[in-house]
Copies of this chain bind each other. A is one copy, B any other.
Amino acid sequence: MKSSKTVKPLLYTSLSPKLLDIYDVSSSIVVIIDVLRATSTITTALFNGARSVIPVASVEECMRIGKQIEGITAGERDGQIAEGLTYGNSPFEYPRDFIAGKTLVLTTTNGTKLLHMALDKGAKEIITGSFPNLTSVCDYLVAQKQNVILGCAAWKDRVNFEDTLFAGAVISRIKQHFDINCDSSQIAETMYNDAKKDLYAFLKKKNASHYHRLTNFGLEKDIRYCLTPDIANVLCIYKEGYLVTQQPT
């Protein structure tokens, strides 16, 4: 890094949940990134007035808590609605006239799993990130002046394009505020710069594995939405079991 007289907070990118514990989670704000589709759906539900989202690790827990609090049970396994749950993991399932004032209990293959891993490792703070709330995430991270770990949820621990691209988008916007000595972050930013003109076309061209998985389910509309910056631009912050909105400070 170029020398600087002021000490900047550190920023790292963890490209897979398996890499998270390389970094000092306990001194960092961990941004949970699951672009297709968990964190895009979370910000959409909160943007549309959901009271909160409860991220849970298992389908059983989702059903149990959903019953207990009369919440909306939702989630997917392998990209489709999980058996026993009422709703799925598409942002289009949560318009304002349905979700406003309600609590969503959500479990997904990768995103909610990573969130619980970050919790277990004692993350200083947890927020969720996705293109639909890109600006809120960036503004918050700059304002907090804390160390940051951009945590990609990946797909069953395999590094993926879309979460890496979101990490790159954040880095390209806020890098001057952080000390970044992390090749994963540089790789993410390089990928984003290659892709930013048309993220959708880039994923398609690069034959991204999850792009294919979802298009096989007819979910092109979901993918396009999940790659749209600031379409549901609220900050989603984890507080004592609940993801809730908070305006950037």
Interface residues of A (CB under 8 A from B): 1, 15-16, 18-19, 22, 155-161, 164, 181-184, 186-187, 190-191, 194, 206-210, 212
Contacts and interface: CB of A to CB of B under 8 A. Distances in A.
14 contacts: A1-B207, A19-B157, A19-B159, A159-B187, A161-B183, A161-B186, A164-B183, A181-B209, A181-B212, A183-B208, A183-B209, A186-B206, A186-B208, A190-B191
B15 A159 contact: yes
Contacts of A210: 183
A158 B186 contact: no
A207 B187 CA distance: 11
Nearest to A181: B209
Number of copies of chain A assembled together: 2
A153 to B, nearest CB: 13
A182 B194 contact: no
Which residue among A159, A186, A207 has the maximum number of chain B CB atoms within 10 Å of its CB? Answer: A159
A227 to B, nearest CB: 15
Contacts of A183: 155, 158-161, 164, 206, 208-210
A186 B207 contact: yes
A194 B186 contact: no
A177 B16 CA distance: 27
A191 B187 contact: yes
Contacts of A186: 161, 206-208
B182 A209 contact: yes
Q: Which 10 A-B pairs have the closest CB atoms?
A: A159-B184, A160-B183, A161-B183, A186-B206, A18-B18, A22-B157, A183-B209, A181-B209, A159-B183, A183-B208
Contacts of A207: 1, 181, 186
Contacts of A194: 190, 194
